[in-house]
Amino acid sequence: MDLASARGRLCYCTNIHAGESWESLAAALRGVSAEVKTQVSPGAAMGIGLRVSAEAMQALKVPAARAELGNILAEQNFELWTINGFPYGPFHGQPVKQQVYEPDWRTSERLAYTNDLADLLAEFGTSNGESLSLSTVPGAFKPNGVGAEAAMAETILAQVAHNIGIRERTGKTIALALEPEPCCFLETIEESVEFFAHYLFSEAAAGKVAELAGVSKAEAAAALPRHLGLCYDVCHAAVEFEDPAESVAMLRQAGVPIHKLQLSAALRLPQIDAVMRDALSAFVEPTYLHQVVARDAAGALTRYVDLPEALARGVVSDGEEWRVHFHVPIFLAELTPSLRRFHTTQDFLAEILAHHANDPISPHLEVETYTWDVLPDELRDAPIADAIARELNWVARRLY
């Protein structure tokens, strides 16, 4: 849905729905997504953020499947302006963990997949003269990205050149949005700014894009921020103890655009103790990484790749504040009575939205609580369509 006063366009991401095939995605669009629209936008178009797996993307190369996608978007009155191109392979129902970042930006497979998604978005995206966004892996899982900066940058810049070609052919602007995440190569806003300055928005980068896209170096330099920037995931930033206003200001000062703002919240444990550690066992599950950033009394941060690793420290962690990368419904500031000492980072999200209301941060806002099917049972007390609608309405009330 379009928000008032140039505050951008709000949608939700279909990565919440299980299934890797085109058939399962089509069923979700006709089913749950249609139910959500009935609740939040019955009389007008509703924005949809597609998650298209590599398997589904291969199917969508067939003209009949592509035509079906166009028919669904038209029949349901959905507007597509963003794609989540982060998870390449399976994303539900089996262990994902660090494999979610693979293939990463060191590989030709990631480039080919992302180019295919960009072509799909150019064909079916509703731009209204504005850019369309495509979020992606923040380079690589951290151990795999260190030392591979130049290789990743070269592949990312090749994708930018592809998007420049799309704009020349179709008039539509596709913006690739790297999504910083805990324990990834791009983890913090500071790391992101540094990588962009040295590898993506440098004079050498402009020269490379000019060569690949067949444009002048000046044209390439102007095209880079138009076609490349960040996806600012609010959950990830909160887990990293970023400052909401300062992090956005840092990106603006560096000239790194936020092409997508993902609206999400994490677990926040203000002061760890034995009772909290025991209760956190409800959030230990085998599908996703749930990175933990712990802050001690002196303000020092320590990072753990997954929740079990942090819990294994036992009493040594008592007194620390923990933030856990486990997406929880954004309409909850605290969790249910049995978890009443568990908070969320909703206040961080509320601050970002207040900032956006006064001075828009991004043209695209996407609700993304993909962990619904692995939440503890007591947090899944409503049909999924109702929960998604409640999240969208929670955001809309703060921005209209």
Quickly state the pLDDT bin for 1 (edges 50, 70, 90): low
Which tokens sit at 101? 């970042």
Q: What is the pLDDT of residue 278?
A: 92
Measured on CA atoms in the order 232, 233, 236, 239, is the torsion positive or negative?
positive
Q: What is the pLDDT of residue 400?
A: 77
Name the H helices within 280-383: 307-311, 346-358
206-220, 281-295, 371-385: which has the minimum mean pLDDT?
371-385
Question: How far is residue 199's CA from residue 203's CA, in Å, rounded to a whole number?
Answer: 9
Averaged pLDDT score across all residues of the chain = 96
> Beta strands 258-263 and 364-367: pairing type?
parallel
Task: Give first-to-last CA distance, the chain, whole Å.
Answer: 11
Q: What is the pLDDT of residue 378?
A: 85
Percentage of the chain beyond pLDDT 90 is 92
Q: How many other CB atoms sit within 10 Å of the CB of residue 299?
A: 8
Is the pLDDT at 9 greater than 80? The verdict is: yes
Quickly state the pLDDT bin for 149 (edges 50, 70, 90): very high
Q: What is the pLDDT of residue 377?
A: 87
Q: What is the pLDDT of residue 5?
A: 58
Is the pLDDT at 339 greater than 80? The verdict is: no
Is the pLDDT at 223 greater than 80? The verdict is: yes
3-state helix, strand, coil in the chain (%, to 5): 50, 20, 35
**Average pLDDT score over residue span 367-382:** 91
Q: What is the pLDDT of residue 381?
A: 84
**Average pLDDT score over residue span 63-74:** 98
**Average pLDDT score over residue span 15-20:** 94
Greatest Cα-to-Cα distance within the chain, rounded to the nearest angstrom: 62
Q: What is the pLDDT of residue 4?
A: 60
Q: Residue 293 to residues 29, 280, 320, 329: CA-CA distances in angstroms?
A: 35, 14, 10, 20
Quickly state the pLDDT bin for 199 (edges 50, 70, 90): very high
Q: Is 352 within 8 Å of 262 (Cβ atoms)?
A: no
C-alpha neighbours within 13 Å on the C-beta side of residue 51: 25
Q: What is the DSSP letter of 141?
A: B
Question: How far is residue 152's CA from residue 157's CA, in Å, rounded to a whole number?
Answer: 9
pLDDT tens digits, 269-307 = 999 999 999 999 999 999 999 999 999 999 999 999 999
> Beta strands 292-295 and 321-328: pairing type?
antiparallel
**Average pLDDT score over residue span 356-365:** 96
CA-nearest of 187, 211, 189, 206 to 256 is: 189
| Close Cβ partners of 34 (under 8 Å, ≥ 6 residues apart) | 76
Q: Residue 22 to residues 29, 114, 306: CA-CA distances in angstroms?
A: 11, 17, 31
Question: How far is residue 97's CA from residue 32's CA, in Å, rounded to a whole number?
Answer: 26
Is the pLDDT at 391 greater than 70? The verdict is: yes
Quickly state the pLDDT bin for 110 (edges 50, 70, 90): very high
CATH topology of domain 9-266+345-399: TIM Barrel (3.20.20)
Which tokens sit at 25? 């995605």
Q: What is the DSSP letter of 246?
A: H
Q: What is the pLDDT of residue 60?
A: 98
Is the pLDDT at 10 greater than 70? The verdict is: yes
Give the domain ranges of the chain.
9-266+345-399
Q: Which residues of 107-145 are buried (b: 16+ CB within 10 A; e: fewer)?
A: beebbebbbbbbbbbbebbbbeebbbbbbbbbbbbbebb
Quickly state the pLDDT bin for 309 (edges 50, 70, 90): very high
Q: How many other CB atoms sit within 10 Å of the CB of residue 150?
A: 10
Q: What is the pLDDT of residue 84?
A: 98
pLDDT tens digits, 257-274 = 999 999 999 999 999 999
C-alpha neighbours within 13 Å on the C-beta side of residue 127: 17
> Beta strands 343-344 and 364-367: pairing type?
unpaired
Percentage of the chain beyond pLDDT 70 is 98
- Ordered strands of the 321-328 beta sheet: 301-304, 292-295, 321-328, 265-269, 343-344
Assign residue 327 a region: left if phi > 0, alpha if psi is -120 to 50, beta otherwise? beta
